[in-house]
Amino acid sequence: MSNRLFQGIIHQMRDSIDRVIGVVDDTATVISCSDLTRIGETSEYLMLDMGENQDLFVRDGYTYKPFGS
């Protein structure tokens, strides 16, 4: 259900920004994204970075900000 909520928000923002934006869950799976082809992708390296960082970090040219518990 939260996937649909995030996808709706990203869809509304897509035309206002000139970047690819998305949401990754706690298993490093893309659950919503302005680039629909990326939904469902996972990265074990991203999962390691998410576990170590609570601030912004960059991986493979993408910037991430963990949020939630």
- Residue 50: CB partners within 8 Å, gap ≥ 6? 24, 26, 28, 64, 66
In three-state secondary structure terms, 45 is helix
Is the pLDDT score of 63 beyond 60? yes
The pTM score is 0.76
Taking the domains of the chain in order of start, what are their residue ranges? 2-64
Average pLDDT along the chain: 82
pLDDT tens column, 47-58: 777 777 677 778
